Structure 1
Amino acid sequence: MSRPLWLRFLVISVFFSVLLSLLYLWMIREVTTRPGDEVQRSMYLFIARIVEGDNYAEGLRRVQTYRSESPAISLDMWVVNRDNQMLASSVKDAPPASLLERKKPDLIHQVLTRGRFFSGSAASGIVRLQSAEPVYLLVNNPGTPARGAVLTMGILFVVTLITAILLGLLLLTLYLRGRSAEARQVIHSIEAGDLTARFTSGRLDAIGGLMQHFNTMADEIQRLVVQLQTIEKTRRELLQELGHDLRTPLTSLRTAIDTIAVHGESMERQERQEFFSVITSELDYFTRLIDDLFFIAHIDEPRYRNMAHLASRLDLCDLLKTETSHSLHAQQQAERPITFELELSAACAHTCHISGDAYLITRLLHNVFDNAARYAQSRVRIRLQPVADTLELIVEDDGPGLSADGIARFGQRRDTRLMFAGLPSRQTGISLGLGSVIIKTIVELHGGDYEISNGEAHQDFPGARLRLVFPAHPSGS
């Protein structure tokens, strides 16, 4: 704790200690000086009953006899008439002028008091005695040494209060100094790169609560840093993969263009057409690659990661029909058209809806059909059927199927373009598996599941078999 802060705490503590001390002293004063106490009124009446009679001097002597057994109580008593003429007295001295000048009671046995009789401080009282003429008993208690004890008790209270506050400040200083040293150590460790440094837990005080909040903040910072490191690692790996993957097609493009530029005039028409087909194929590959990369970057945005907005009800049957029609139209322009066969279960007429984003589901179907057409020889079959509370979409082709490694790495980016024997010449490879990454990501965002395998060799569709499962949208909602 710094010196200015410690001095501030000290000034505030002393202020409150003085305030509490004044309050305590005021309470003592109220207890010892406030008149009207029924006990002391009873005491004055008791003395007055003893003094009353024909012989006031004898009554005062009797009271003094009783008081002699309690010498700590000092009592001076006088009996006077209306004109303050002394009728009897227990002491040689005359009554104090202040006592004689005070107003006398009007009623018999009425008591007028000042101060507290049993407080140890000065107290006095006037009682009208029962007689034909107004006669008054004057009682004066000059006080006892107990008054000094009360003052001593008040001083001890103030000293104890200030000592307790100073001791509390000392303990607070030591505690804050220890926590400050721990905080500096933790922050220094974090600055040095140790993101696992944390404050020790277990304290339930305010400072301990702050330390817990700091630990929570440090956990979040560590999570963000790890996430940034992962993203940076993924970015570097992606750049390395892209550099490796683009080098071969770029070399092929450059070779084909240079060959046409140098020997184009001497080439036969068919030979030139083959070179142009290679260039077109590689340009198509670049286009698909860039489109997939942009889409993957786009789908990582929070508005897609937070799927709470997927409250729209989509008709999967209509989407399948629309996308199948687009795929058939695109295949009509190809050298070897692929036939798409759409089979919808009869139960789908009642249960064919899912919750999702129309743009993402359309992109998913586009990628699925595009992959299937790329591997197929001539046919692709699409089946949709309800299973319990889900919709099951199965896409099969009659191509050569996937290798064991291709099935195992479905949904992951590959290091190189895969080449497949038996595929048409215009489809010699695919991008880095980005199509399968897009499929996997969209399915998982919609709470679904996927399974990739190969069909049986003796069946009509022995090629790749992709099974997608989506939670069905509740009917009537």
Structure 2
Amino acid sequence: MSRSIWWRFFAISMVFALLMSLAYLWLMRETSLSGRGGVQRSVLLFVARIVEDGPIDESMRRLDGYLADSPEVPRQMWVVDATGRVLAARSANAPPLDWLAADRPQQPHEMHRIAGGGLRGPAVGIVRLAGSEPRYLVARFTGLPGRPLLMQQLAAFVIALAGAVFLGLTLITLYLRLRSRQAREVIARLEAGDLRARFVPERLDALGVLMLDFNRMADEIERLVGRLQQAEDARRSLLQELGHDLRTPLTSLRTSIETVSVHGQAMPELEREAFIGIINSELEYFVRLIDDLFFIADIAEPHYRKNSDPLALADILRSEMAAFQAREGLRFRLDAKDAGPVSGDRMLLARVFRNALDNAARHARGQVDIAVAAEGPMVRVAIQDDGPGMGAQAIAAFGQRRHQRLQAGAANPSMSLGLGSVIIRTIVELHGGRWTLESGAAVQGTRLCIWLPAADVPRPASG
């Protein structure tokens, strides 16, 4: 808390203390004027007993010692008999005329009061004194008794209130300084690169809530920075992979082109066509490789957002199957009777099944079976080929980036780095799904199962 703000708070607090003091002074004055409550009754009974204890004149003089000690003791008092004759007085004025017409007390120490206060003037109290002859103590509450004592009480009240305000502001200042030092330490750690720096709120007050809000903001910043770092790592990895993966096929492509250009005319036609086939194969590999690498890097971007539309998997699968139907000796069979819509991005899911069907087609001997069925909140897609199957090591490496090209299958001599399985895994996880890969004695060939979240499609209202 700065010094100027502290002084502003202190000035406001002092004004409040002054207003409270004025209210206290007004309350004391009104209480003395109106004579309400048990305080005035007790005071008058106390004065009555002093008057009764000895000669009246001497008792009235004894009251002077009490006037300086209590602001409640009335300054104007008269002792009168039943006829209204004044027997003793502490005032040069005559008794108030209201008391003669008032209902007088009948029993000793019984008190009657004539209401006053405000614009009606001071209240008047009447107490019957003990004795055989009726005598009365008449007192007028002027509202101005004990001025020195009242001023002392007022000054003490102001000082106590001002001290409490000063102490409170000092404690608040120390507390805020402590929290400010903690805030500077946390911010300094964040500036130094420690994104895990957080506040430790000790209580859920206003500052504690602000600390929790700051911690949530820091969590979001850490998450975003983490995704940016992942994106940067993906870019760096992309460049490294491009340099590593292009070197071997470029060498093969260069060798084939040089061979054809130098010895093409002397080559037999079949040998020349074989070299041209190698060139076309390597060029196709380049196109697939660059496309896959840039696609993987793109979906890893922090700003990447997928659509979440209800999609019919059967339509997507039929569309992707059409590209493989033309292959000679390969048959596709689709069973999607019990399939419901899924929630996802059509372009991404089409890419998933294109890669999955391509893998199955490259390993299959003659048939690929696709089954789609609902399983609770998910939709399961099973793609199974009738090929020779996969080994345990190949199954464990599915979805992982390989650093060496492998031949896709015995029937298909194309080369692969496994980027298709990486794309399948990334897109399925992006949609909140999961996958499994089975091969061996229990499964003829290889079966890839993919689970995707079912779409929440509102049912039509029943008539």
TM-score over 0.5 for the pair = yes
Q: In the TM superposition, what whole-angstrom CA distance separates every residue of 1:427-477 from its partner, at most 9, and x where no partner exists? A: 1x01x32211222233344554322233459x9x54x43233456678994
Moved more, 384-393 or 157-166: 384-393
Q: Does 1:466 align with 2:448?
A: yes
C-alpha displacement at 1:113, in angstroms?
7.0
Q: Structure 1: which 5+ residue stretches go unaligned?
A: 48-60, 80-85, 117-121, 128-136, 332-336
Give the structure 1 partner of residue 325 of structure 2: 328
C-alpha displacement at 1:24, in angstroms?
2.2
Separation in 2, partners of 1:283, 1:247: 13
Q: In the TM superposition, what whole-angstrom CA distance separates every residue of 1:130-153 from its partner, at most 9, and x where no partner exists? A: xxxxxxx98667899744323222
Matches within 5 A, 1:339-350: 339-342=330-333, 344=335, 348-349=336-337
Separation in 2, partners of 1:77, 1:237: 108
Q: Which amino acid aligns with 2:220?
A: E
Change (3 A) 1:105 1:149: closer
Contact in 2 for aligned 1:455/1:465 (Cα 8 Å): no
Separation in 2, partners of 1:168, 1:401: 79
Separation in 1, partners of 2:8, 2:447: 77
Change (3 A) 1:374 1:211: same
Q: In the TM superposition, what whole-angstrom CA distance separates every residue of 1:151-178 from its partner, at most 9, and x where no partner exists? A: 2222111100000111112212222222
Q: In the TM superposition, what whole-angstrom CA distance separates every residue of 1:303-337 from its partner, at most 9, and x where no partner exists? A: 98667x34x251x44443443333113x2xxxxx3
SS at 1:90 equivalent: strand
Q: Which amino acid aligns with 2:320?
A: E
Contact in 1 for aligned 2:122/2:143 (Cα 8 Å): yes
Give the structure 1 partner of residue 423 of structure 2: 438
Q: Which amino acid aligns with 1:416?
A: Q
Q: In the TM superposition, what whole-angstrom CA distance separates every residue of 1:165-209 from its partner, at most 9, and x where no partner exists? A: 111122122222222222222222222222233333322332233
Moved more, 22-31 or 68-77: 68-77
Separation in 2, partners of 1:395, 1:88: 122
C-alpha displacement at 1:372, in angstroms?
2.0
Matches within 5 A, 1:58-77: 72=66, 75-77=76-78
Q: In the TM superposition, what whole-angstrom CA distance separates every residue of 1:227-275 from its partner, at most 9, and x where no partner exists? A: 3223322332232122101111122223333333344344333333222
Matches within 5 A, 1:344-359: 344=335, 348-349=336-337, 351-357=338-344, 358-359=346-347
Q: Which amino acid aligns with 1:465?
A: R
Contact in 1 for aligned 2:234/2:300 (Cα 8 Å): no
Separation in 2, partners of 1:454, 1:39: 99
- Provide the aligned length of Structure 1 versus Structure 2: 423
Q: Which amino acid aligns with 1:405?
A: Q
Separation in 2, partners of 1:276, 1:174: 83
Matches within 5 A, 1:113-192: 125=124, 146-192=146-192
Moved more, 21-30 or 238-247: 21-30
Q: Which amino acid aligns with 2:355?
A: N
2:360 is matched with which residue: 353, 359, 372?
A: 372
Change (3 A) 1:94 1:268: closer
SS at 1:415 equivalent: coil
Give the structure 2 partner of residue 90 of structure 1: 88
TM-score by length of 2: 0.74
Change (3 A) 1:158 1:475: closer
Separation in 1, partners of 2:277, 2:356: 25
Contact in 2 for aligned 1:313/1:356 (Cα 8 Å): yes
Contact in 2 for aligned 1:372/1:395 (Cα 8 Å): yes
SS at 2:405 equivalent: coil
Q: Which amino acid aligns with 1:339?
A: L
Q: In the TM superposition, what whole-angstrom CA distance separates every residue of 1:272-310 from its partner, at most 9, and x where no partner exists? A: 322221221111112222332344345457898667x34
SS at 1:356 equivalent: strand
- Aligned residues with identical type, % of pairs: 42
Separation in 1, partners of 2:432, 2:139: 98
Change (3 A) 1:192 1:300: closer
Change (3 A) 1:42 1:8: closer
Change (3 A) 1:297 1:272: same
Q: CA RMSD in A?
A: 4.5
Change (3 A) 1:382 1:472: farther
Separation in 2, partners of 1:27, 1:104: 25
Q: Does 1:211 align with 2:211?
A: yes
Separation in 2, partners of 1:400, 1:145: 114
Q: Which amino acid aligns with 1:158?
A: V
